[in-house]
Structures are given as C-alpha cells and as structure tokens.
Structure 1
Amino acid sequence: MKKILTTLLLCFAMSLMAQQNEKEEILKVVNQVFEAMRTNDSTLLKQCFVASPNTFTAFINQEGESVLSKGEFQKFINAVGQPKEQVWDEPIWNEKVEIDGNLASVWVDYAFYVDDQFSHCGVDAFHLIKQEEGWKIFHLVDTRRRSGCEIPDEIKP
C-alpha cells in the first residue's frame, strides 16, 4: 500500500511539474509579444503568432455602445516594427493560464504606456495552439479603457 501511495504521489508531482513547465512556455510567448512591442521587433512579434491570427478589440464607444472591432494583424506588425522615438510598454499582471492538450487560454490585466505616459488599460485574452515549433497565438482580443484602472504600484513607471 505504501508503494502504491508513493507512486501515486510521485505521478501527481510529475504531472504538476509538467503543467507548470507548459504554463511557463505559454507565458514566455505572451511576454515576447510585449518585448517585441517595447523593442520595435516585428520579427519577434511574428514568431509568436500563427500565420493569420484573428485580433479584436472590445470597448465601449462614446455613445455607450458595446463595440467589437476586428484588427488587421499586418497593420499591428507594421506599427510595432516602425521605428519610433517613444517606447510602447505594456506591463501585465494577474496572469491566468488554462490548458487542455494543445489549446491554451491566457487572460492578463495590462496597462499601456507610451514612454512613461499612461494611455489606457484593460485585459488581453490570448488563445494559443501547440504546434511542432511550440506554442503560437491564433486569437487575441483586448479591452481598452482610460478610467477605472487599478494598476499595481510595482507596474507603474
């Protein structure tokens, strides 16, 4: 009985370690997106995504209506890769990662800064698929708001 219990505990511990490693790999991809934005590296950005990902922004317009705006991934790549004097910084916190086989979902709070100037905050929601070359983002949606942002002090510039 003792051997069975030890074996079960060992299997459980190994399973938890494997899942933690997967979560780290997934968050590495997500963090590379923000590194690419900070450094104007469109090549790094493209490496994080499948060939034709879907991108959206959900927000409330000035009339108080709920809007879902479809993005154009190539425009995002071009904007990130464009040389600029300002730094686009999007620190994240409160990361939640869910995994089922080759599908993962990541939900993070973020604040967006141009240099040290606050622009907006919201949530980024990523869907990733595990392929031969690793985890890739196939769907990204974010929310955007300028008020009601509870940004942790360690995130603020």
Structure 2
Amino acid sequence: MMTKYLLFWNLIFFASAAHAQSEEREVMDAVVYLFNSMREADTTAVRAAFVPGALLHTVVEIDGRSARTNGVSLDAFVASVGRQHAGALDERIMFDMVRVDGKLASVWAPYLFNLNGQLSHCGVNAIQLVKTAPGWKIHSIIDTRHKEGCKPSHWFK
C-alpha cells in the first residue's frame, strides 16, 4: 500500500515539474520572440509581444547613490524599432531566472546590446509577463544600462 502511495505522489511531483518546465520554456520563448522581432525590425511582431499599454522603463543613475526611471510608451518603443533596418538592434540575453505562478511570470535576464554591429551597452532586463488567450505576453520591462564591464563575462557577475 505504501509503495502505491509513494508512486502516486512521485507521479504527481514529476508531472508538476514537467508542466512547470514547459511553462518556463513558453515564457522564455515569448521573450526571445521579442528580441528576434527587434533584430528583424518587425514592428508588427514587436507589438504582438506585448499586452496593450505595456510599461517600458529604464533605471537611470542620478548621483551614484540614487536613481530614477525613464519610461517610454509602447507606441514610442515600436516606432523606434521601425526606424531601424533589420540587424541594427541586436540584444543578446541570458536567462538567469524564470519564475511562473499561474498566469504570471517573471524573468531576470542580463543582456548585451549591439547597435549597428557595435556594442552599445549592457545591463539586466526584469520582465513581467501575463498568460493571455494567445499565450504569454510582456506586461512590463524595466532595465539597467551600463557602458562599462560590457562583455560576455558581465553575465556572470
């Protein structure tokens, strides 16, 4: 009897873990879709990666001790992507953390950003996603931006 009980709970645990990994993969795919769409300068695809009214912010250091955020509307962001040619915007990310709870997901992703083939800056993206009827969509992104220490090793600080 105890063996059947343990087998049942092991099956539940592994099924739950497999489902969680599948959800995490879908979340990562949604984020990768955004950056691939940016790389292609595909404004329709970029807009499709977000929920309407999504929030986009950057943390800006003020005096070495404090910071503020600069926001940009989704429309302005999409327009800025549309002003580029395919290949001009190349943001490379590494998934450091992906968490999913029901219909909410959080991603922490260090990145390197290249503009027209030249390293521009690096930092970290903190991305919040919501699972909608068509799939995972980005609700908000807030990022940091640095000019120093921008090389692949910055991912492992």
Q: Would the TM-score normalized by the shorter structure come out above 0.5?
A: yes
CA distances 1:19-45 after superposition (whole Å, capped 9, x unpaired): 000001001110011001100011111
Q: Which runs of 4+ in 1 moved over 4 A?
A: none
1:53 has 2:54 as partner: yes
CA shift for structure 1 position 146: 0.3
CA shift for structure 1 position 124: 0.5
User: Any unmatched runs of 5+ in structure 1?
Assistant: none
Q: Which deviates more, 32-41 or 79-88? A: 79-88
Distance in 2 between residues matched to 1:130 and 1:147, nearest whole Å? 35
Q: Counterpart of 1:120? A: 121
Distance in 1 between residues matched to 2:33 and 2:95, nearest whole Å? 17
Contact map agreement 1:59 1:145 (CA 8 A) in 2: no
Identity of aligned residues (%): 35
Contact map agreement 1:36 1:80 (CA 8 A) in 2: no
Q: Counterpart of 1:133? A: 134
Q: CA RMSD in A?
A: 1.7
3-state secondary structure, aligned to 1:84: coil
CA shift for structure 1 position 134: 1.2
Distance in 1 between residues matched to 2:126 and 2:34, nearest whole Å? 13
3-state secondary structure, aligned to 1:106: strand
Tell me which amino acid in the other structure corresponds to 1:34.
F
Q: Which aligned pairs between 1:33-44 and structure 2 lie closer than 5 A?
A: 33-44=34-45
CA distances 1:42-68 after superposition (whole Å, capped 9, x unpaired): 11111111011111100214x445121
User: Any unmatched runs of 5+ in structure 2?
Assistant: none
Distance in 2 between residues matched to 1:104 and 1:133, nearest whole Å? 15
Equivalent pairs counted in the alignment come to 152
CA shift for structure 1 position 84: 2.4
CA shift for structure 1 position 95: 2.8
Q: Which aligned pairs between 1:50-129 and structure 2 lie closer than 5 A?
A: 50-61=51-62, 63-64=63-64, 65-84=66-85, 87-129=88-130
Q: Counterpart of 1:4? A: 5
3-state secondary structure, aligned to 2:149: coil
